[in-house]
Amino acid sequence: MIEDWLANAYGGLSRREFLARVGVAGIGLAGFAIAATPVAGQVITTSDAGLKIDTGKVASGDFQIPVYTAHPSAPGKYPVVIVIPEIFGMHEHIKDVTRRFARAGFFSITFEPYAREGGVLNLPDIDAVRKVVDPVPDARVMGDLDSITAWAGKHPAARADRLGVTGFCRGGMYTLLYAARNRDVKAAVAWYGQLRPVKTPGVRTVGPLDLAADINSPVLGLYGGEDLGIPVADVKAMEAALKAAGRTAEFVIYPGAPHAFFADYRPSYRPEAAKDAWGRCLAWFNRYLKT
């Protein structure tokens, strides 16, 4: 079983064809196209009009983590949504998603999980990306999320008592791990995050299925029925485990959708599934963070 989106994120292209098209676009595999190109799906660009956008750094231990925040420019305090990136880090698509949450009335923040390694946006291929990303311990990411959560809670535009977390691919797995770690999380939305990840000493000792009983917040899971890296049986097992523990959980499986069906800059993008999933995601956060 392949761990991340790699199994079918090429959207029907061979690996060679996919890389060739990326090469024509003049970009690295990790960065991808941030404009409409043959490799893109239907790239969405969210305006920052009416939003307050900031970039900065948050201290986590002895390191300063790059962050990107967005919230409505109108005065007020807004529920917090932390957006955890894919293995490609804080690239333009992730920033755009952060702006989408802000436009929906949230204080949204994303970050660069791999800044200590110099980031991965300019690496030439997925093998190079994974050499950087795979050795990063889950515990370090969880610690960074603690720091980001604490920082966001003190922001004058944020409601510290209304914390949500969401993430994509590996970020979806981190979403579930963090919901199990932080009891202040009031709602979680996991987009096709691994549920039985490979465990490696010093990097990962548990996966979301191991920690289902530790999650207290309502969880929405959004998964593709044709995700070759995440069996539907695992998705159903996670939902069942959460419900058995008395948790509120809803896991939606989109028939025919591959991994990364929400990534509008990839061939894996499926507009209908993405639109429905986004609506469910916003409804979930509106229900549990705004009331």
**pLDDT at position 124:** 80
* List of domains in the chain: 5-289 (3.40.50.1820)
Q: Which of 259, 237, 262, 276 is nearest to 193 (CA)?
A: 259
End-to-end CA distance of the chain: 40
Write out the two tokens for 174.
């981190």
Instruction: Report the alpha-carbon distance of residue 105 to residue 109 in Å, rounded.
Output: 13
Mean pLDDT calculated for residue range 249-278: 96
Q: Which of 202, 255, 32, 54 is nearest to 124 (CA)?
A: 32
Q: What are 238-257's pLDDT values in tens digits?
A: 999 999 999 999 999 999 99
Across the chain, mean pLDDT equals 89
Q: What are 119-135's pLDDT values in tens digits?
A: 998 888 888 899 999 99
Active site residues: 169, 227, 259
Query: ∠216-230-165 over CA atoms, to 5°?
Result: 35
pTM of the full predicted structure? 0.89
Mean pLDDT calculated for residue range 51-80: 98
